[in-house]
Structure 1
Amino acid sequence: MNLGDFNDLEVAREVDFGMYLTSDDGDLLLPRKYIPAGTRVGDVVRVFVYRDSEDRLIATNLEPYVRVGQFAALTVRDVTPTGAFLDWGLEKDLLLPYRNLRRTLRPGERATVFVYLDDTTDRIVASAKWEWFLSDDPFPGKAGDAADLFVAEETDLGYKVIVDGTHQGLLYHNEVFKPLRLGDVHTGYVRQVRPDGKLDLSLQRPGYDEALAAADTLLAALRQAPNGTLPLGDKSEPDDIYRRLGMSKKVFKKALGSLYKQGMVQLEPEKTVLVSSK
């Protein structure tokens, strides 16, 4: 049985307050409020297994925000001398022990953590020192590759992100054109692999591919717009461009240029008109 993860377990017996499930670590309770309708003794149910407030193994059919071996951004419910307690979607909050804190946290604040099983206590705990749990192996990708970027922390330079769940990278502030929130996952691109193994990243597709992708996005927006006209042009504000198209003004101008060279749009200072059905 995997503690801190989902397991398929057989119902051994039923009692007034729930059902007991059979596992290699002994029978554990599935409280009645979490029993799927129609479940009987002998059935196999998929449940998440963790420990209750008295450290007993217990099952639930609730979906936690994070499982053992994963990174997540969680909200702080309470802070005590023992550490911080985090909301992870279950009745019992997740402990972030004092030794695993990087700084003082406050209730209501979000923090990026890695969740693991403590070898000494066999309890599920979190660590805010999430960098410790990244891979030491060289990044297997290269510049230009697409990757899943988990937003882990904001710094003066930009956003620290976890790349494909294994390596650390950075999105620089001056290259981010939309608000990012801890725990968000975006598709991004590797700009370069630095000598220290960390990665410089971008949310925009690099090089000519970026312009092509932006041109496709702009063309689709024009085709859906009333009379094939968007109130965006060379003189438009960057925020207006991003709000409508999700791209920077620099990328927007590349897309405009590409469509204009193909004779597909008419350009005006503050609007763009589709003139071709290509």
Structure 2
Amino acid sequence: MIKLGDYNTLTILRETSVGLFLGDDEGTDVLLPNKYVPKSYGIGEKLRVFCYLDHEERPIVTTLEPYIIRDTFELLRVMEVNNIGAFMDWGLEKHLLVPFSEQRNKMQAGHWYVVRCYLDEKSERLVASNKHDKFLSNENLTVNVLEEVDLIVTRHTDLGWEVIINNQHKGLAFTSDVYQKIAIGDKLTGYIKSIRPDHKIDISLQPLGYMGLEPMANAIYERLTAAGGFLRLHDKSSPEDIREVLQMSKKAYKKGIGTLYRERKIEIKEDGIYIVDKQ
């Protein structure tokens, strides 16, 4: 079955004046317009194409790669707003509709929003929504504490940054746990810091526990190398100074330099830390 809103690998069946017709194993065929036909091809060959609806709501395929596919979240820009809804640029000729009913707040042209693309069952059309919670659930969790996960940043609140976890769950990175500049739409690697009894998930953007020791040490050593072998940071440096220079907490910094010191890669002096010259 050809899946609308996703990539499909289809067989070239025949060529016509308007383009190539491609088909699946179930006897369904669809048009690849001339403008997307590759320079060289052969009947019977396979092509990886994206399927969506054209301006007349007919299934069609393209070799273009959209910015978002069905059942995923991405940061997209609104190109125009009319009496139907907002239309977003998703890398294809026909813009992606966000109906007013699927807007958390009224969208504005030129602004960027994290949205989910999905197939509307009533209209059988691909649309988008930035009402994230209707697509996310923490009821049956598929993640565990300390696990590495994929994140997309969705909103900044008084507590911190709301994130989508593995395209399935909702989490929060508290401001006190964020030591780097991030923005809405950023895709990051994160770690499950804790799961509360009510299934709310706290996120860390840095490895936790034993997982964090080597990455923190490596990050400090790389920054030391880039700075010529010296950083004006020491045990009494403020958390703010450490965050500004290394984008990590003071606790992580102390663990990292402890690892480097034990491995005899650095010297710790009153004015800062130095790379050990092994020559």
TM, length-normalised to structure 1: 0.87
Q: List gaps (5 residues or longer) in structure 2.
A: none
Say if 2:100 and 2:106, in contact at 8 Å, map to a contact too: no
Alignment of 1:93-242 (within 5 A): 93-222=95-224, 226=228, 229-234=229-234, 241=242
2:15 and 2:55 map into 1 onto residues whose CA distance is: 22
Match of 2:273 in 1: 272
Corresponding residue for residue 8 of structure 1: 9
2:85 paired with 1:83? yes
Q: Contact between 1:176 and 1:203, CA under 8 Å: does it hold in 2?
A: yes
Deviations 1:105-145, CA, capped at 9 Å, x for gaps: 11121112221111111110111111111235432333222
Per the alignment, residue 28 of structure 1 pairs with: 30
Question: SS at the partner of 1:179?
Answer: coil
SS at structure 1 position matched to 2:35: helix
Shift in Å, 1:215: 1.7
Residues 91, 25 of structure 1: CA spacing in aligned structure 2 closer, same or farther, 3 A cutoff?
farther
Question: For the structure 1 residues 12 and 206, does the alpha-carbon distance in structure 2 shift closer, same or farther, using more than 3 Å as the test?
Answer: closer
Query: 2: distance between equivalents of 1:42 and 1:14?
Result: 11
The answer on 1:40 being equivalent to 2:8 is: no
User: Does the C-alpha gap of structure 1 residues 159 and 35 become closer, same or farther in structure 2, counting only changes over 3 Å?
Assistant: same
The 2-side partners of 1:48 and 1:177 are apart by 38
Q: Which moved more, 1:60-69 or 1:217-226?
A: 217-226
How many angstroms apart in 2 are the aligned matches of 1:194 and 1:100? 29
Residue 262 to residue 18, structure 1, CA distance change in 2 (3 Å): closer
Matches for 1:46-65 after TM superposition, within 5 Å: 46-65=48-67
Percentage of identical aligned residues: 39
Unpaired runs of 5+ residues, structure 1, are none
Q: Residue 206 of structure 1: CA displacement? A: 2.2
Tell me the SS of whatever aligns to 1:132: helix
TM-superposed CA distance for 1:188, in Å, is: 1.3
**CA pair 140-10 structure 1, distance change in 2 beyond 3 A:** closer
Change (3 A) 1:89 1:242: farther
Cα shift at 1:239? 7.1
1:2 to partner: Cα distance:
0.5
Q: Please, what is the CA RMSD of the aligned residues?
A: 2.7
State the Cα deviation string for residues 15-66 of structure 1 (Å, max 9, x = none).
3342222355854321222112211333321110100111111110111111
Displacement after TM superposition at 1:257 (Å): 3.6
Residue pair 2:138, 2:170 contacting (<8 A) in 1 also: no
Whole-angstrom CA distance in 2 between matches of 1:82 and 1:25: 35
Q: Could you report, residue by residue, the CA deviation over 1:180-204 in whole angstroms, capped at 9, with x for unpaired residues?
A: 1223222211121112212011112
Number of aligned residue pairs? 276
| 4+ long deviations beyond 6 Å | 235-240
1:233–1:267 CA contact under 8 A, matched in 2 = no
CA deviation string 1:204-259 (max 9, x = no partner): 22235424431233234445664xx1334127676775566443444223322443
Deviations 1:129-177 (A, max 9, x none): 1111123543233322222222122222111111122111000112212
**Alignment partners' CA distance in 2, 1:5 and 1:140:** 24
